[in-house]
A and B are shown apart, each in its own frame.
Chain A
Amino acid sequence: MRGWATRKAASAGIVAAALVLSLAGGPAGADDSLIAAGGALAAHGATAERPGCASCHMQNGAGQPDVGIPRLAGLTAQQIATQLGYFADGARQDPAMTTAARLLSPLQRQQAAAYFASLPIPPEPDRLATDAALRARGQDLFRNGDQRTGLIACALCHGATALGVGEFSPRLAGQSAAYVATQLQHWHSGALRDPQGAFMRAEARGMTQDDIDAVAAYVAALGDEETKSP
């Protein structure tokens, strides 16, 4: 018994060390300065001529769900920084974000990412109402997949309540339905979207427009209550 317990402790130590190494900002002080600088970038932009991130994504990171501008609060710094890098080097295309990301240095991208990742999930007082039957269909697809199209249940990677898993899969709960639907349409069309897009392109391949709308409506409506339940 002692032998295996020792091995277990050693293994846990390796995991803990890996976790420490993966924290991008290092000591808390360095994180705080990244966040502060990122907050200023969000408010004022990288140059005087350009608007800050907040002009679209809002200073509280809520985005503009109705028009498909994604919420950034709730994502990890690594997820945001990675996507900013893809926009900057052309691996992911978007008219607004390609321009915006190219104005930022790698350090500024890290700062913006650290800032938005530090924000709490903002309240959503004016969420668009969606059809209950559509959300129910979305829940079924999200939890159970679809035998007819070979869809693997979304929950298997994003978690049962769509909170995302580590750096592997982003949080979807409460994300803009219009944004989620647009991304699924990109993947459905066969686009890779970004270098990590192989999983989602395979997922979206067999989805119909109705499936996409249903899943998007379902995850967007997942709020605090749903994500707390078992």
Chain B
Amino acid sequence: MKPTLLIGLVAALGLAGSAAWLVGVKPAQMGALVGLGTAPAPFQPRTDDQIPKGPYGDLIRLGEQIFREPGTYAAAYVGNDLRCSNCHLNAGRLAGAAPMWAAYTAYPAYRSKTKKVDTFAERLQGCFDYSMNGTAPPLGDKVLVALETYSYFLAKSLPTGETIPGHGFPALPKPDLPGDYARGGQVYAQNCASCHGAQGQGQSSGGKVVFPPLWGARSYNWGAGMTSIESAASFIRANMPLGLGGSLSVQQAWDVATYMDSQVRPQDPRFDGDVQSTRAKYANTPMSMYGRTVNGVVLGDPATTPPARQNPPAVVTN
């Protein structure tokens, strides 16, 4: 795409005032603006037609199914309406959207969140506890094995122990002004609400949630990585709106992430009975709004906070 066309696109979105940062962008750089991070050519993960026949291939397929529809294929462990593929776009393949091929090669790793070295399977467990507001499958459970097998398949031929271009979300510069709830609400209404709903409730098609709920009882809980305004802003700037990653300004990304992460959502499953004490232990960062008062509500207050672990009663799956 020529720069002039790109600017036209931004103007068409009503963002002309914030288009200055795009001026002079060369076509070759577009990829970096559209969710591909700052990498040169991103890694090419395996495609579905390369899945081999046999039990190994069957497990890869199951992993991909779980990844797309955890509420169907891993129902016992899922407590909300999210899918893995809502944040790990293109079913965990897209660079700049926390691709599973890069995640696979990054473990085992020490994590400040757990204060220990986690294996890849243990990292997957965290997704179920927090992002999926459910209960982690036990180590060795077929759900975890399938997800790990799928990720391994995608990562084939990548080196371990190195930072892979395209991993995680692209780092985002700090904004000129601190992230702002009111400005973020306007960004949300103009750019996000047509898919995610005015109340952040998401949107379904054919009985299935397509656009995920961003807050409320059916979204990620207060323990999830996405409750970090910085993480959310990085994801949003690189990947949202879908197909138009990079179209929001850095400031808009921080503002709308602040708005999204200042809403009511399910309780942190590590809640110790006291919001401020829980914040001090697990969310003691300016990037978390947990325990802060927004619109007269203390975020995380049990009186106004949906419960954690809303997955169906545990059943033995294997």
Contact = CB atoms under 8 A, between A and B. Distances in A.
Interface of A: 1-4, 7-8, 11, 14-15, 18, 136, 139-140, 143-145, 147-148, 150, 152-153, 156-161, 163-168, 190, 192, 195, 198-203, 205, 227, 230
Interface of B: 1-2, 5, 9, 12-13, 30-31, 34-36, 42-45, 47-49, 68-69, 72, 85, 89-91, 93-95, 194-195, 197-199, 201, 203-206, 208, 210-211, 216-217, 241-244, 264, 302-307
A8 B218 CA distance: 11
A202 B34 contact: yes
Contact of B197 (A15, A158, A192, A200): A15
B43 to A, nearest CB: 8
B206 A144 contact: no
Give me the 8 closest cross-chain CB pairs, A-B, nearest first: A145-B90, A3-B303, A159-B205, A165-B205, A163-B206, A202-B243, A165-B210, A203-B243
Given A159-B205, A199-B241, 19 more contacts: A1-B302, A1-B303, A4-B305, A4-B306, A8-B217, A136-B49, A144-B90, A147-B90, A153-B89, A156-B210, A156-B242, A157-B210, A160-B69, A161-B206, A165-B203, A165-B211, A198-B12, A199-B244, A205-B1
A147 B42 contact: yes
Contacts of B31: 150
B13 A145 contact: no
A165 B69 CA distance: 17
27 contacts: A2-B303, A3-B303, A4-B303, A4-B304, A11-B199, A14-B198, A15-B198, A15-B199, A144-B90, A144-B91, A144-B93, A147-B45, A152-B90, A152-B94, A153-B90, A156-B89, A164-B205, A165-B195, A165-B203, A165-B210, A166-B205, A167-B194, A168-B211, A199-B242, A199-B243, A199-B244, A202-B243
B203 A145 contact: no
B9 A198 contact: yes
Nearest to B4: A190
Nearest to A201: B9
A198 B13 contact: yes
Contacts of B216: 8, 11
B316 to A, nearest CB: 22
Contacts of B13: 198
Contacts of B93: 144-145, 147
A201 B241 CA distance: 13
Nearest to A159: B205
Given A145-B90, A202-B34, A140 B47 contact: yes
A7 B215 CA distance: 13
A150 B94 CA distance: 8
A153 B243 CA distance: 9
Contact of A192 (B12, B198, B242, B305): B12
A168 B198 contact: no
A153 B1 CA distance: 19
Contact of A152 (B49, B242, B303, B306): B242
Contacts of A227: 206
B101 to A, nearest CB: 10
Contacts of B44: 147-148
A168 B91 contact: no
Contact of B210 (A4, A159, A190, A230): A159
A8 B306 contact: yes
Given A150-B36, A152-B89, A203-B243, A11 B201 contact: yes
A15 B218 CA distance: 15
A3 B302 CA distance: 9
A230 B243 CA distance: 25
Contacts of B307: 1
B168 to A, nearest CB: 16
A202 B36 CA distance: 14
Nearest to B9: A198
A7 B211 contact: no
Contacts of B5: 190
B218 to A, nearest CB: 10
Nearest to A173: B206
B296 to A, nearest CB: 12
A150 B12 contact: no
Contacts of B89: 145, 152-153, 156
Contacts of A157: 195, 210, 242-243
A143 B35 CA distance: 17
Given A144-B48, A150-B34, A168 B195 contact: yes
